[in-house]
A and B are shown apart, each in its own frame.
Chain A
Amino acid sequence: MASYSTNEFRSGMKVMLDGDPCSILENEFVKPGKGQAFNRVKLRNLKNGRVWERTFKSGESLDAADVMDLDMEYLYEDGEFWHFMKTDGSYEQIAAAAAAVADCKDWLKEQDVYQVTLWNDDPIAVSPPNFVELEVTDTDPGLKGDTANGGTKPATLSTGATVKGVPLFINIGDVLKVDTRTGEYVSRAKS
C-alpha cells in the first residue's frame, strides 16, 4: 500500500489513522525557531464523521486509504440493509449497513443519486446531495393568516424525517425542497 509523507499531505487526501480511513482537511507546517518541524493536521474520520487534530513530526508518513466516492442510485431498504446501484451502466449493486447510511436515511428517495464512500470496496458512508425533494406525509392543516408560530409549522416527510420552518400553506401530498445540510425547508417543489 502506498504511503504519504507529511509534506505530501493535501486536503482531500485519504489516509489511514488508528485503523480508520480519514480524509485530510488541513495541514499546517509548524516549526519553532531552532527546533524540530511538525505538521498539525486536521482529518475527518470517514467512518463516523468526527474531526481529529493530530500533530506529526515532519517527515512521518501515513498509509494511503483505499477510499473511493461513487455516485450511486438508491434502490430500496430491506429492513437491514440499504441497497444502491452503480450509475455507470454496470447495474452493480451494493448493500450499506445502518452505520454507513446514518443520518442520510432521512433523505433517501428511491431512484435519486447519492454519494457512497467505499473503503476497500465496503460502503462506509452515504452522503445526500445538498438539496432533496420529498413528499409531505403529515402536517397540521395551516390556517391562512395564523402567524402565532411565526407563520410556520413542522412537517413529516415520506422518509419519516421532520422538517421545521414549513409555511402554513403546505399540505399533505406537497413535495418540498429541503436543504440536507441544515435540515431546513427551502421551497415547495414544482410538481
Chain B
Amino acid sequence: MLTWRPSASLAALRERSRCLGQIRAFFAARDVVEVQTPMLGARTVTDAEVESIAVHPYGFLQTSPEYYMKRLLAAGAASIYQLGPAFRHEESGRLHNSEFTLLEWYRLGFDDRQLMQEVAELVDDVLGRGSYTSLTYSELLGGVDALKLERDEIDLKFVAAIERLGQGRFFITDYPADQAALARLRPGHEDVAARFELVIDGVEIANGYWELQSAAEHRRRFQADRDRRAQLDRSDVLVDECFIQALEHGLPDCAGVALGVDRLLMLALGETSLDAVLAFRLDRI
C-alpha cells in the first residue's frame, strides 16, 4: 500500500537531529575531523556476505566509507570520522534497511582496546552511562569447540548467542582469525583477530578493528573473499586497486570502527524497530 507519510514520528526525528549534533560535538572535543567521501564509488568490497547496489554506469553505492577513509589516512590525514549513509543490497527487516546511517571513525596510534574505550564513551553520551562486559568470541559461543563447526552453523550460533545475552552492553572481542575481515591478527596470539563488536540489548551496534596494514595480506584476504563468492555462486567483485596502492604507500598504525547510528538511536528512544527512527523506511521510498 502506498503511503506518503513518514515512518518515524516527528518527535523521533527531532531526537535524531539532537543525537547527530551530540556525535559531532563528541569528535569536535577530541579534535577528530569530519570528512565526506564518495557514496558513489567505482569499486566496492569483496566481502562474500555483503552485496553492493550497482549503479550503472558509475559503479556502486558504497557499503561503508572504509576504503576512502583509509586512502585519506594513507595520504597523511590525522584521526577522522564520517557520518553518513551506507547501502547494502537486500538487507531489510526490523534491524536492517538497505540505506542506513553509519558513523565510522579512525584513530591514529590506537589499538582495538583503546578504541573500545572510546566507543563506550560515545555510547555513554547518547544512551547515558552504563557498564560494559567484555567476552571473547569463543566465550560467547560457549567454547572453542563451536569454532570447528561449519561457518553457517557458527553464524547461526552467534546470532542466537547475542540474543541470549539479553539486556546490557557487551563487547565481543578476539574474533577467530578466519573472521578477521580487515583487522590484524593479535600479536603473539595469531589464532585470533584484533576485532571487536559492541552488542547492546541483543542488537549489534558497532564493529571495529586494530587495522591490518600489510598490502600483501589485504590482497590475500580479498582473494579468499572472491574464492568464497565463487563457491557461493555470487557475482565476482574485482579488487579495489586504488585501495591496494594506498596500502602499499602505507596505512599508519590505527584502529577504526563503524557504528550503526539508526540502531543506536532506536535504543536511545526505547524502540525495537528502525521504523521508529527513519524518516522514510525502505517500504515508503
Interface set of A (CB-CB < 8 Å, partner B): 7, 28-38, 55, 57-58
Pick from B7-15, B69-77, B100-108, B154-162 the stretch touching chain A.
Answer: B154-162
Which one of B47, B94, B181 lies within 8 Å of A28 (CB-CB)? B94
Report the bound CA distance from A144 to B197 in whole Å: 69
Is B91 part of the binding interface, using a Cβ–Cβ cutoff of 8 Å?
A: yes
Which residue in chain B gives the minimum CB-CB distance to A36?
Answer: B155
Nearest Cβ in chain A — how far from B119, in angstroms?
Answer: 14
The digit string for B92-113, where 1 denotes a CB below 8 A from any CB of A, is 1111100000000000000000
In this assembly, does B152 line the interface, its C-beta being within 8 Å of a C-beta of chain A?
yes
Q: Are B91 and A29 in touch, CB under 8 angstroms?
A: yes
- Are A29 and B152 in contact, with the CB atoms below 8 A? no
Q: Assess whether B93 is in contact with A29, with CB atoms less than 8 Å apart.
A: yes
* Chain B minimum-CB-distance residue to A39: B93
A34 CB contacts on chain B under 8 angstroms: 47, 49-50, 179, 181, 207
The chain A residue with its CB closest to the CB of B179 is A34
Q: Are A55 and B156 interface neighbours, CB within 8 A?
A: yes
Q: Are A29 and B155 closer than 8 Å at their CB atoms?
A: no
Query: Which residues of chain A come closer than 8 Å to B91, judged between CB atoms?
Result: 29, 31, 37
Residue of A nearest to B163 (CB): A30
- Check: B190 CB closer than 8 A to any chain A CB: no
Binding site for A on B (CB under 8 A): 47, 49-50, 90-96, 151-152, 154-156, 158-159, 162, 179, 181, 197, 204, 207
Q: In whole angstroms, what is the CA distance A30 to B93 when docked?
A: 8
A residues within 8 A CB of B159?
30, 32, 35, 38
Residues on A with beta carbons closer than 8 Å to the beta carbon of B93: 28-30
Q: Which residues of A contact B50 (CB under 8 A)?
A: 34
Given the interface pairs A36-B49, A37-B49, A58-B90, the reply to whether A31 lies near B156 with Cβ below 8 Å is: no
Interface of B is mostly: mixed
Q: How far is the CA of A57 from the CA of B96 in the complex (A)?
A: 16
Given contacts A29-B92, A29-B96, A30-B159, is CB(A36)–CB(B152) below 8 Å?
Answer: yes
Residue of A nearest to B172 (CB): A33
Question: Chain B's nearest CB lies how many Å from the CB of A55?
Answer: 6
Task: Output the least CB separation between A45 and chain B (Å).
Answer: 23
Give me 16 A-to-B residue pairs in the complex whose CB atoms sit less than 8 angstroms apart, sorted by A's number.
Answer: A28-B93, A28-B94, A29-B91, A30-B93, A32-B155, A34-B47, A34-B49, A34-B181, A35-B154, A35-B155, A35-B158, A35-B159, A35-B179, A36-B152, A38-B155, A38-B159
Given contacts A29-B96, A30-B93, A31-B91, contact A36 B181 (CB under 8 A): no
**Residues in B neighbouring A58, C-beta threshold 8 A:** 90
B90 touches which one: A7, A35, A38, A55 (CB < 8 A)?
Answer: A7
Q: Decide: A57 near B152, CB < 8 A? Known: A30-B93, A37-B91.
A: yes
Least CB separation from A35: chain B residue: B155
Complex CA–CA separation, A7 to B51 (angstroms): 14
Smallest Cβ-Cβ distance to A59: which chain B residue: B90
| Docked pose: A43 CA to B105 CA in angstroms | 42
Contact yes or no, B94 A29, CB < 8 A: yes
* Chain A residues in 8 Å Cβ range of B181: 34
Roughly how many angstroms separate A55 CA and B159 CA in the complex, as a whole number? Answer: 11
Query: A residues within 8 A CB of B179?
Result: 34-35
Residues of B within 8 A of A33 (CB): 197, 204, 207
